[in-house]
Amino acid sequence: MPRIFHLWLTLAAFLLVAGCGGDSANDAPAPKEKDWKPLVNAQRAFADLTEFANLGGMSHLPARREALASGRRLIRSKLREAGFEARDIITDSWTQKIPRLNGGGLRTTTMKNILATLPGQRPEMIAIACHYDTKMMSETFVGANDGCSGVALTLELARQLRAKSKDERAFTYVFAFLDGEEAVVDWRAKYEEVPDNCYGSRRLANQSDRFPIQTVILLDMVGDADLELVYEKSSHPDLNDLFTQTAKDVFGIDIFGGMKEIQDDHIPFKEAGMSRVIDLIDFDYGPGNSYWHKPADTVEHCSAKSLERVGTLVMAALPRVESWLKKELARK
């Protein structure tokens, strides 16, 4: 995906600090990464990333629609292999008007979210979400990072959480594989009042009766071989702090880089009144983000190590997220 909003004041703040920081900051030894134990199977997740990328791009372009359907079949079959019951894997279909790629009004397409639920002690839900559509492009675009990495890691987290007992999950989980994150024509445009982006998350965010989601952990562009997660400004500050602290505790280093405000699938939940969202995203893919939405978004530019790091971060953070959410809900 997504779209960056402002590059923010981080750079200015950094320069200010650097400018008056004196020598003591320079003399302090850089934090050293700890030995840490992976909490996900990264080779399995990377094999999935590769398999989805090999579909050659999953979009609503007529020529790519079959790949989109293949992607859905793969997601469902991998969830079944992970032990999810068929009845807990919901395909939510709807008819969506989208702009024509080459101008000339709107057309309709069928969009489908795949939602796999996993019961916990409480009915309120924590969503682990990604988008499985990839950008519609006239040139070859497989979306190994932008699309497939989030799908692969969401699947792996589903496996890890499915392997635990229900007692170990304080909340019900929903693994949300969202359609239509990518803009068809123009991310900033609206067509008949509907923004040309995040179609699937907007759909899910407005189904709170069926899916009582209280927190969203969004995974997007998490496969970049040169990983640096963004401290994303429109995410909930408590969740940003919680994940940053977890990263320091687990890895011994801060794996979050500069602050950016990014428009992504977490925004429709905020707009629907649910602000407990975090977007885990590395929005600096290739030199100057030059691989983003380009044919260079390939498996070669992704790594199992990056999936392992983000997956381990999420697994380590989840007990803290659950405790935090319990307190949040008790305050209501």
CA angle 171, 172, 176 (to 5 degrees): 125
Minimal distance in Å, beta carbon 220 to Zn ion? 8
Q: Of 5-13, 139-147, 149-157, 159-167, which part binds Zn ion (CB under 5 A)? A: 139-147
Nearer to Zn ion, 132 or 251 (CB): 132
Between 99 and 120, CB nearer to Zn ion: 99
Among the listed ranges 80-88, 140-148, 151-159, 255-263, the one in contact with Zn ion (CB under 5 A) is 140-148
Residue 98 interacts with Zn ion (CB under 5 A)?
no
- Per-residue contact flags (x/-) with Zn ion for residues 13 to 42, judged by CB under 5 A: ------------------------------
Q: How far is the CB of 66 from Zn ion (least distance, A)?
A: 21
Cα Rg for the chain, rounded, in angstroms? 19
| 1 near Zn ion (CB under 5 A) | yes
Residue with nearest beta carbon to Zn ion: 1
Under the binding rule (CB under 5 A), the answer on residue 196 touching Zn ion is no
With CB under 5 A as the rule, give the number of residues binding Zn ion.
2
CB of 252: closest distance to Zn ion in angstroms? Answer: 32
Residue closer to Zn ion, measured from CB, 1 or 222: 1
Q: Pick the closer one to Zn ion by CB: 247 or 281.
A: 281
Q: SS3 string of the chain?
A: CCEECCCCCHHHHHHHHHHHCHHHHHHCCCCCCCCCCCCCCHHHHHHHHHHHHCCCCCCCCHHHHHHHHHHHHHHHHHHHHCCCCHHHEEEEEEEEEEECCCCCCEEEEEEEEEEEEECCCEEEEEEEEEECCCCCCCCCCCCHHHHHHHHHHHHHHHHHHHCCCHHHCCEEEEEEEECCCCCCCCCCCEECCEECCCHHHHHHHCCCCCCCEEEEEEEECCCECCCCEEEECCCCHHHHHHHHHHHHHHHCCCCEEEEECEECCCHHHHHCCCCCEEEEECCCCCHHHCCCCCCCCCHHHECHHHHHHHHHHHHHHHHHHHHHHHHHHHCC
Between 135 and 309, name the residue whose CB sits nearer to Zn ion: 135
Nearer to Zn ion, 1 or 314 (CB): 1
Interface residue with Zn ion, options 133, 146, 196, 284 (CB under 5 A): 146
Q: Which is nearer to Zn ion, 36 or 187 (CB)?
A: 187
In this chain, which stretch among 22-30, 46-54, 138-146, 270-278 interacts with Zn ion, using CB under 5 A?
Answer: 138-146
Rule CB under 5 A: which residues touch Zn ion? 1, 146
